[in-house]
Structures are given as structure tokens and as C-alpha cells.
């Protein structure tokens, strides 16, 4: 009878430790819902990773340098017999000493200048990239650096780029790699599985790496009106010109569902697109930026995932509001001045009853202009600078006509000159009247911002 009881207990224990349905290798904290379930299951099946005595894997726990050496050593078949090493802090009594020694001999890992290995220190993302790069001799693709927080003066620089280009690691949505961040067991398992088994690799597709100022946690991103959208791709764009880009990168205004056509300016080896928005925005408006499928990389890859960004422009407190009529034109001037920026909205309406011809300086110039000026003995002098964004505009002067009752409107952001803080500053609006062959004196009005 006692023998039967002991046998029954033994069977129960076996059942408790046997792999459960939907759990990776029986780890109770790694279910099929876990992002890296397959990678953990794969490594456990090859006995590269093991769990803890309580049946857990602890996917969110940090990985020590000793644990990294053990897992990589098992993955590439290194000798793990305990042994003394030349590191002052790794004797045969340290768990993983054999794998550490073998990995050093293979040139996979190294220690610190003080002759220590620091086996209990957590592995950083930079160190992990070096370990994997050397252990698996990753293909050196010499890719461009897509991360904003790594540079060529870093030891891990080539290894990080190799690991990325080989589909083993990815960066973050803000275009960073976070090289000094610690690696947790779940993530390390994913990276190691990808290095060991190519079918797990992500092989980065053509995608948007980052968009400046995009708050991905918010339903609507709040931005200042002078914000410039800068879209960074992980691969060079196909050289198909601005017209094709404009068909796939555009903005829709929510208030009237009107598509705002853009002229993207490609720079930096065709990987970065700047959106010239200075003829587009209005204050306190909601827009949606679309980056659509159909874009193609220079290598022939199609955009893997389209991007949609809903954003709302700031609403200034217009403390300066004044209407001035001159030479048959009514100017409505509004401004929200501060020491750093002056948000401006100017509207010019033809009240003369006759058409008023006027000119614009380029395809992106509406004709009506605004500027900050100070009064001098010689007359008004412009001060400060103006918000503008590089744009693909025609340079030809346009001849336009303001019909009776018709209005034109501009939105501007002007930046006061620090040296002019102690002077009285005026907001000036100018409409350049006449045509090229017969220019007339511009209509100018100004209001004080004090």
C-alpha cells in the first residue's frame, strides 16, 4: 500500500512538470499569447534555455552576462565544463565559467580593462549585439545607420547594424536603438532564436522608421503650426519623382475632407522626406497625414505598413485684433505675440468694387505677406525671421487678380529678433499690387504688437 502511494505521488509530480497545453516548454508564465512564445519553445526544445525551479521562465527578468554566455554557448555548442578563467571574478565556482572561458577563446565575448568579466551584471542591447554578431558571424551588409542614438565611435556600432540588417534586432518607433538598455530574458530568447534559426528573422521590410513629433500613444497628436513633419524610411526610396510621392503622401483636412497636396522634398540619400507645410496649415484645425501603400524602395520592396497620423494644430490666443482699410483693401490682422514666436493670421479683402491685380514671387507664394518691423528714422525696417520650409515650388512670378469682395488669407509664424525686444514692434501686411510690366506701389498697413 505504501509503495502504491509513493508511486502515485511520483506520477503526480511528473504531471506537474510535464509541458502543459499552450505553455512554452511547460513554463507557466509563457503562454501562446506571449509575443515570443515560438522562440522560447524553440530554444527550450534544443535545451539552450531552461527555466526556474518553480516552473517559470521569467521572461521579463534581466539577463546577466553569465547567463548570456551560457545560452550562446549552448546554442553554438561550446564546452561548458566548469573551469577557472583569467578573469579575476570568474573562477570554476561561478555558474557558467566553462561557457565564459570557451566564448572568450572563440572571440565571442571579452571582459573589461580591469580584468573582470562581471558575470552578474545585466547585458545591454549593445553588448548583446556584439555577442550575437561574433557568435554567428553575421553577414556584414554595411547598411546605413538608421538609429539616432548610435554612432561610429561606439564599439558596438557595426554589430548593431549587422544584427539589424540580418533581421535579428529592431529599433524603436522613435528611431532609437537604446544601446545601454538592459535585455530581458524574453527578448534575448527572441534575438538568439533568430540568430540560430533564420526562419524567425524579421528581414526588415520597407517601412517608416520614424516621423518627427508623432505621439503614437495619443489618438490625436498636438503640434505647433510651425512643426515640420520629417518622415524617415529604413531604405532609400525609389527614384520616381515628386509626383508619385505626392500620390502616396498627403494630408486631408477634417473640416471639409479636402486633400492637401504636398510637394515632398527628398534629402539624405532619398531616405528622408521633409513635408513643406507652410502653405497648408490653419490654426485650430484637425488633419490626417497619410503615408500610403504603393511607395517602393530602391531595392524594389513595397511599403510594408502604411502610416496614418491624425494631428491637431495649436489654437493661439489672438490678443491683437485690428482691421485697417487702405486703397480699397481691408486688412484683418490678428496676432498672438510672445518673446519667442508671433502667431499671425492676415486676411485681405477687396472692398473697392474693382479688380485689383497683384503678383506673387513663386508658386508657393500667395502674394500677401506679413513681417515684423520696427520704426527707424529711415522708416520701417524688418526684424526677426519668418517660418518657412523648403518646398519644391516654381520660381516664376505669378500675376493674380483679387476680384471685388474676394479675400486672400495667410497664416504665419514670425520670430522676433532678440535685439528688438526693447523696441516697439509692429506687424506689417503687404500686398504687392500691379503686374510685372506695370508694378504699382504695394499696399502696406501695420499694427503695434505692444
Give 196-232 pLDDT, tens digit per residue: 988 887 666 688 888 988 988 899 999 988 888 889 8
What are the cell numbers at 224? Answer: 505647433
Same domain, 217 and 284: yes
Distances (CA, A) of 330 to 164, 399, 406, 409, 410: 59, 20, 11, 12, 14
State the total domains in the chain: 3
- Residue 67: enclosing H or E segment and its boundaries? helix 65-76
| CATH number of the domain bearing residue 342 | 2.60.40.10
- Of 251 and 391, more confident: 251
Its sign, for the CA torsion 153, 158, 159, 162, is positive
Cβ-contact 443, 327 below 8 angstroms:
yes
Q: In terms of residue numbers, what domain contains 331?
A: 320-448
pTM exceeds 0.85, yes or no:
no
Same domain, 193 and 219: no
Closest to 226 (Cα-Cα) out of 408, 368, 370, 412:
412
Give 239-254 pLDDT, tens digit per residue: 666 667 778 888 899 9
Cβ-contact 407, 347 below 8 angstroms:
yes
Q: Which of 284, 313, 342 is the last residue of a domain?
A: 313
Closest to 214 (Cα-Cα) out of 291, 297, 295:
291
Give 160-172 pLDDT, tens digit per residue: 998 988 889 988 8
Q: Residue 417 — very low, low, confident or very high, per pLDDT cuts 50/70/90?
A: confident
Burial environment of residue 347 by CB neighbours within 10 A (0 to 12, 13 to 18, 19 or more):
middle
Indicate whether 168 belongs to any domain: yes
Same domain, 261 and 330: no
Same domain, 271 and 193: no
Indicate whether 2 belongs to any domain: no
Same domain, 233 and 112: no
Indicate whether 327 belongs to any domain: yes
Indicate whether 331 belongs to any domain: yes
Q: Which of 280, 313, 346 is the last residue of a domain?
A: 313
User: What is the 3-state composition of the chain as percent helix, strand, coil, each rounded to the nearest 5?
Assistant: 20, 30, 50
Q: Which of 200, 222, 251 is the last residue of a domain?
A: 200
Same domain, 32 and 177: yes
Report the distance separating Cα 26 and Cα 67, nearest Å.
Answer: 20
Give 308-357 pLDDT, tens digit per residue: 999 999 999 999 999 999 999 999 999 999 888 999 999 999 999 999 99
Give 4-51 pLDDT, tens digit per residue: 434 333 333 323 333 334 555 578 899 888 889 999 999 999 999 988
Same domain, 392 and 333: yes
What is the percentage of the chain residues whose pLDDT exceeds 70? 84
Cβ-contact 286, 310 below 8 angstroms:
yes
Same domain, 304 and 332: no
Interval 91-101 mean pLDDT: 95
Indicate whether 9 belongs to any domain: no
Indicate whether 366 belongs to any domain: yes
Other beta carbons within 10 Å of 65: 22
Is the pLDDT at 366 greater than 90, yes or no? Answer: no
Same domain, 351 and 366: yes
Residue 44's SS3 state is helix
Amino acid at each position: 500500500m505504501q509503495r502504491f502511494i509513493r508511486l502515485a505521488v511520483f506520477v503526480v509530480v511528473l504531471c506537474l512538470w510535464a509541458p502543459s497545453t499552450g505553455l512554452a516548454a511547460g513554463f507557466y508564465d509563457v503562454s501562446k499569447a506571449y509575443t515570443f512564445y515560438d522562440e522560447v519553445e524553440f530554444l527550450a526544445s534544443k535545451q539552450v534555455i531552461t527555466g526556474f525551479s518553480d516552473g517559470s521562465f521569467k521572461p521579463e527578468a534581466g539577463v546577466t552576462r553569465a547567463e548570456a554566455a551560457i545560452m550562446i554557448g549552448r546554442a553554438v555548442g561550446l564546452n561548458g565544463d566548469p573551469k577557472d578563467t583569467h578573469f579575476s571574478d570568474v573562477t570554476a565556482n561561478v555558474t557558467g565559467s566553462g561557457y565564459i572561458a570557451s566564448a572568450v577563446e572563440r572571440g565571442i565575448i571579452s571582459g573589461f580593462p580591469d580584468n573582470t568579466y562581471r558575470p552578474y551584471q545585466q547585458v545591454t542591447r549593445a553588448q548583446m549585439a556584439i555577442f550575437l554578431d561574433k557568435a554567428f558571424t553575421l553577414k556584414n551588409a554595411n547598411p546605413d545607420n538608421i538609429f539616432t542614438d548610435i554612432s561610429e565611435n561606439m564599439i558596438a556600432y557595426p554589430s548593431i547594424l549587422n544584427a539589424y540588417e540580418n533581421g535579428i534586432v529592431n529599433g524603436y518607433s522613435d528611431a532609437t536603438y537604446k544601446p545601454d538598455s538592459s535585455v530581458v530574458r524574453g527578448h534575448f530568447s527572441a534575438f538568439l532564436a533568430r540568430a540560430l534559426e533564420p526562419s524567425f528573422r524579421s528581414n526588415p521590410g520597407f517601412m517608416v522608421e520614424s516621423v518627427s513629433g508623432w505621439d503614437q500613444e495619443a489618438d490625436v497628436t498636438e503640434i505647433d503650426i510651425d512643426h515640420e513633419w520629417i518622415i524617415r524610411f529604413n531604405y532609400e526610396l525609389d527614384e520616381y519623382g515628386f509626383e508619385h510621392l505626392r500620390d502616396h503622401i498627403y494630408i486631408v483636412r477634417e473640416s471639409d475632407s479636402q486633400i492637401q497636396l504636398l510637394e515632398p522634398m527628398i534629402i539624405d540619400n532619398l531616405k528622408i522626406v521633409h513635408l513643406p507645410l507652410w502653405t497648408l496649415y490653419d490654426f485650430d484645425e484637425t488633419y490626417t497625414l497619410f503615408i500610403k501603400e504603393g511607395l517602393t524602395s530602391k531595392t524594389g520592396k513595397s511599403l510594408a505598413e502604411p502610416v496614418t497620423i491624425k494631428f491637431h494644430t495649436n489654437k493661439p490666443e489672438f490678443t491683437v485684433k485690428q482691421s485697417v482699410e487702405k486703397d480699397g483693401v481691408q486688412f484683418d490682422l490678428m496676432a498672438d505675440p510672445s518673446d519667442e514666436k508671433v502667431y499671425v493670421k492676415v486676411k485681405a479683402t477687396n472692398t473697392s468694387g474693382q479688380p485689383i491685380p497683384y503678383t506673387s514671387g513663386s508658386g508657393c507664394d500667395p502674394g500677401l505677406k506679413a513681417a515684423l518691423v520696427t520704426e527707424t528714422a529711415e522708416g520701417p525696417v524688418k526684424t526677426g525671421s519668418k517660418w518657412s520650409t523648403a518646398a519644391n515650388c516654381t520660381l516664376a512670378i505669378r500675376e493674380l487678380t483679387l476680384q471685388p469682395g474676394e479675400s486672400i488669407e495667410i497664416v504665419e509664424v514670425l520670430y522676433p529678433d532678440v535685439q528688438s525686444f526693447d523696441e516697439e514692434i509692429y506687424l506689417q501686411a503687404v500686398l504687392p499690387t500691379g503686374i510685372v510690366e506695370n508694378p504699382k506701389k504695394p499696399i502696406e498697413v501695420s499694427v503695434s504688437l505692444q
